[in-house]
Structure 1
């Protein structure tokens, strides 16, 4: 069989746009959230000022809410497209723990294979986890933002103070996702250009992969 590579669609336009909007909005939310945290820390440390945005508490809150609405709107676009096109089902499921451990070990040995247009087990697990963390962030954020109006939700999180810790923990999980995500890009750098162009080189005889 011929091994000549061909150009294929690795990431549809909607996925690429929502990916980069998410990256921008998430960065703004994390940096502004750190500034808000610094105004009333719940642990014995503060984040460096250079890693925050907003300049002061009011400015940071404004950044945080602006990024939140952008992230939520973008997330709805991604979820709507993902469900309608079955992109989420094809790319993120199933997630088997044994496969995740296997691919994680390969990644640590710098032997992680990558098939154009398909997520490996580690990527699938990370994306599912970060989607769930996003839901937790929104829910805990609402309980902190409107503890009276959403008293039932705040109570569900064990009160305002514990809801802040849950929100912080979910944020830490998202930061961890970003770190691992970037590490995987470093390990397999050819995955980055298709997130801009949408297309990648693929052997003609490969049977699997996503064609949008």
Structure 2
């Protein structure tokens, strides 16, 4: 069995493209009406102007949502979620977290430790929260009940921004780990490791 089956690799790279478009176009939309006392530099944004950023954001949103639904269906039907994300317990998380802080966390190719399982579950939940809050912002009148679930339109904007910030933070850590352990990139390209075990921090 490959470390990462072909469907998982396809979902991963489509998601990477869609998330990059969503984040950078979202930053351009944010700059038009900032929530906090800062804006994003123009070179880090996508769309060129507000209308272009909105068009990119919605186009990427459909790709991300469709890809997410197929990933969810595959993960449940194939047992991928059960194999990769479970079991998960507070004691297991603390044990692996302490081992990681001491740079003594063993890693078996294709197997997630408890900290990784927790982070992947959290980022999936953040994805759901980002989609829900995004829909509440997009259609606040038609989906008034969804906007009301977040309190109001303004609160939904804050929730959407913070959910996306959490996802971007996860991606940033993910990329840093890839740079530190470049061998981890190979399985997501070919599906297989050059060796069956490796040790990383």
- TM bin, normalised by shorter chain, reads over 0.9
- Secondary structure at 2:107's aligned position in 1? coil
After TM superposition, list the pairs within 5 Å mapping 1:1-212 onto structure 2.
9-200=2-193, 201-202=195-196
- Secondary structure at 2:4's aligned position in 1? coil
Whether the aligned pair in 2 keeps the contact of 1:33 and 1:64 (CA below 8 Å) is yes
Structure showing greater relative contact order (alpha-carbon pairs closer than 8 Å, 6 or more residues apart): 1
Q: Deviations over 1:50-76 (max 9, x none)?
A: 111000000000110011000011111
In structure 2, how many angstroms separate the alpha carbons of the residues matched to 1:63 and 1:164? 18
1:119 shift after superposition: 1.0
In structure 2, do the counterparts of structure 1 residues 181 and 96 end up closer, same or farther at CA, with 3 Å as the change threshold?
Answer: farther
> Greater helix share, 1 or 2?
2
Gaps of 5+ in 1: 1-7, 204-212
Runs of 4+ in 1 over 4 A off after TM superposition: none
**Bigger Cα Rg:** 1
What's the TM-score once normalised by structure 1's chain length? 0.88
Gaps of 5+ in 2: none
Q: Deviations over 1:102-158 (max 9, x none)?
A: 323333333332101111112111110111011101110011000000011101101
In structure 1, how many angstroms separate the alpha carbons of the residues matched to 2:13 and 2:168? 16
What's the TM-score once normalised by structure 2's chain length? 0.92
In structure 2, how many angstroms separate the alpha carbons of the residues matched to 1:72 and 1:141? 12
**RMSD of equivalent CA atoms:** 1.4
Whether the aligned pair in 2 keeps the contact of 1:110 and 1:187 (CA below 8 Å) is no
- Secondary structure at 1:114's aligned position in 2? strand
